[in-house]
A and B are shown apart, each in its own frame.
Chain A
């Protein structure tokens, strides 16, 4: 089931990282410093959790990676793009390489699951024949093949999040960012979604999950990036939600 996407990605060591932040600071016009001197890299095929209390800078970091937020200082490289000095006209091309899913799914209610998924490719000018193939593959990966013609309001929360993930991966992104993907879901469904994100990661897609879900983070023992007060206070390979000891 997963082999299609794997063909499109290359897992390998020693390559240019998919994400590289070098001493990055974000300061908002109000003067609030959201991130201060953050440096980190995510290699191709890595899976990492981004944790921290509210206001720690998680959203700013996610915003940086899709050029929603501009750094005040430092360098940001994502999927081969120098995001810190990227011309506005190039931003859409960066975003085609980065899939994003949110806590609130952000599906278009007047479109079916299939149409929501296809929308991401249609509005980037992809040829019709490619869209059909890519949409069916993405729906297969997230397990929504049979519900493809349903509208979002006829789906459960977990199914809606799967549809949002299908939309995020339909364009074969190098990086998938999940911003609190389980925030609106009950624990069992949350685990299913995490499992799906893990499967997509196994296909070679770099995955970054910003979350408050300490159970999931601590149980899975993946790489943990912990932010507090805008600073990266922990970067552990097999980390837990809270600092141990």
Chain B
């Protein structure tokens, strides 16, 4: 087809699509509203998933073994104990965190969260000193933790925490939530498809005489279908823009909620996340609109 033909095709189809949408106003509004609801769910699922992913990767990066010493263990033994720890197979490094440093870090965290710091009221530091032990391979936490418990100075350890177990339990929660999110999105998508199919089918029925004449005089299937596909795209596009508008308004509140849910989230990724959500919402809107139109046209134009 020539460029002029393409332009004419688009112009005529667009005007037919607009007429069709206006003629079936109720069905159009219902389809657009359902589309918006679904896209809002999709956007929420994406944001929550990104939060979970960030939490998970943070936990993964922090996979290590922490050996807490008994409260009151003296810093004097630290160097000697560190040398012993470093000899354990699979240990890359071991950092000593004294009781004072632990308390300082705890106070820092309280300050960040804006919570009252009552530690000043304590007579003595209740926190134990510890070793943060980095591993050659994060998968070896269990064997390293086991070896540590068999060291000659193992009696000094109050508790050895296997970081992998924490990361794994977080990972299993995350994958469960991902599955739930996927099911919710698929369920909503099917509902949206049904409503879009219904709206476009009404438009097809309202224009059945026109379609019959188009086929009679030799319009190609592209010319017959395009107005309806455009209707689907308009429903999807308006739904996507409404969603982004609503999300933009709610964005600040949602971010605050996300931050309180996932304290560990690196906040600077939020701009990238917003871009990804916007692209996903637009793609899903246009995709579902067009798919709904194609489904409603199946077998109707022959």
When distances are taken between beta carbons in the complex, the residues of chain B under 8 Å from A128 are 8
Q: How far is the CA of A122 from the CA of B5 in the complex (A)?
A: 10
By the criterion CB–CB under 8 Å, are A125 and B8 in contact?
yes
Residues 72-99 of chain A, each 1 if its beta carbon lies under 8 Å from chain B, else 0: 0000000000000000010111111100
The verdict on A119 contacting B213 (CB below 8 Å), with A124-B223, A125-B5, A127-B4 known, is yes
List, in ascending order, chain B residues with CB within 8 A of A120's CB. 213, 217
Determine whether the beta carbon of A94 is less than 8 Å from that of B217.
Answer: no
Q: Does A203 contact B (CB under 8 A)?
A: no
> Which of A120, A122, A125, A171 has its CB near the most chain B CB atoms (within 10 A)?
A125
Interface size on B, residues (CB 8 A): 20
B302 → A minimal CB distance (Å): 9
Q: Which of the residues B9, B215, B221, B224 comes within 8 Å of A125, measured between beta carbons?
A: B9
Is A50 interfacial (CB-CB < 8 Å)?
no
Fill in one digit per residue for B68-81: 1 if any A CB lies within 8 Å of its CB, else 0. 00000000000000
B219 A123 Cβ-Cβ under 8 A: yes
Alpha-carbon distance between A128 and B4 when the two chains are bound, in angstroms: 10
Contact A108 B217 (CB under 8 A): no
- B residues 91-147 with Cβ under 8 Å of A? none
Contact at A106–B12, with CB atoms within 8 Å? no
Q: Which residues of B are found within 8 Å of A167, using beta-carbon distances?
A: 217
**Chain A residue at minimum C-beta to C-beta distance from B224:** A123
In contact, A123 and B12 (Cβ under 8 angstroms):
yes
- Contact at A124–B12, with CB atoms within 8 Å? no
Closest Cβ of chain B to A130, distance in Å, is 11
Per the bound structure, the CA–CA distance linking A123 and B1 in Å amounts to 13
Which residue of the partner chain, among A93, A97, A106, contacts B213 with CB atoms under 8 Å? A106
- Taken together as a complex, chains A and B put the C-alpha atoms of A92 and B209 apart, in Å, by 17
Q: Binary interface profile of B, 263-285, with partner A (CB < 8 Å = 1, else 0)?
A: 00000000000000000000000
**A94 adjacent to B5 (CB under 8 Å):** no
- A65 in the interface (beta carbon within 8 A): no
The answer to whether B218 touches A96, judged by C-beta atoms less than 8 angstroms apart, is: yes
Question: Do B223 and A123 touch (CB < 8 A)?
Answer: yes
CB-based contact A122/B8 at 8 Å: yes
Q: Does any Cβ of A come within 8 Å of B214's Cβ?
A: yes
| A209 interfacial by beta-carbon distance below 8 Å | no
CB distance from B13 to the nearest CB of A (A): 10
* Distance between A224 CB and nearest chain B CB, rounded to angstroms: 26
Asked if A35 is at the interface of the complex by the 8 Å CB criterion, the answer is: no
Given A122-B8, A122-B12, A125-B1, do A94 and B218 touch, yes or no (CB 8 Å)?
Answer: yes
CA A203 to CA B1, docked complex, whole Å: 30
Minimum distance in angstroms from B212 CB to a CB of chain A: 7
- Chain B contacts for A124, CB-based, 8 A: 217-220, 223
Chain B residues near A123 (CB-CB < 8 A): 12, 214, 217, 219, 223-224
Chain A nearest CB: distance from B9 CB in Å? 6
B249 in contact (CB, < 8 A): no
CB distance A92 to B213 under 8 Å?
A: no
With an 8 A cutoff between CB atoms, is B155 at the interface?
no
Chain A proximity of B3: nearest CB distance (Å): 11
- Per the bound structure, the CA–CA distance linking A217 and B220 in Å amounts to 36
Q: Mark B201-220, 1 if CB is under 8 A from A, else 0.
A: 00000000110111111111
User: What residue in chain A is nearest B302 (Cβ atoms)?
Assistant: A88
- Known A-B contacts A108-B210, A124-B223; the reply to A119 vs B8 at CB < 8 A is no
Partner of A93, one of B214, B218, B221, B224: B218
Interface residue? A100 (CB, 8 A): yes
* Contact across chains for B223 and A125 when beta carbons are under 8 A apart: yes
- Once A108-B210, A122-B8, A125-B8 are accepted as A-B contacts, the answer to whether A95 and B216 lie under 8 Å apart by CB is yes
* CB-nearest residue of chain B to A167: B217
Q: Which residues of A117-163 have CB atoms within 8 Å of chain B's CB atoms? A: 119-120, 122-125, 127-128
Residues of A within 8 A of B1 (CB): 125
Q: Which residue of A lies closest to B217 (CB)?
A: A120
The verdict on A171 contacting B217 (CB below 8 Å), with A106-B212, A108-B209, A122-B8 known, is yes
Q: Which residues of A have CB within 8 Å of B218?
A: 91-97, 124, 171
What are 10 of the A-B contact pairs (CB < 8 Å)? A92-B220, A95-B216, A100-B216, A106-B212, A120-B213, A124-B218, A124-B219, A125-B9, A127-B4, A127-B8
Give chain A's interface residues, CB within 8 Å of chain B. Answer: 66, 89, 91-97, 100, 106, 108-109, 119-120, 122-125, 127-128, 167, 171
Which of B's residues lie within 8 Å of A, judged by CB? 1, 4-5, 8-9, 12, 209-210, 212-221, 223-224
Closest 10 CB pairs of A and B: A95-B218, A96-B218, A123-B219, A120-B217, A125-B5, A92-B218, A92-B220, A123-B214, A123-B223, A124-B218
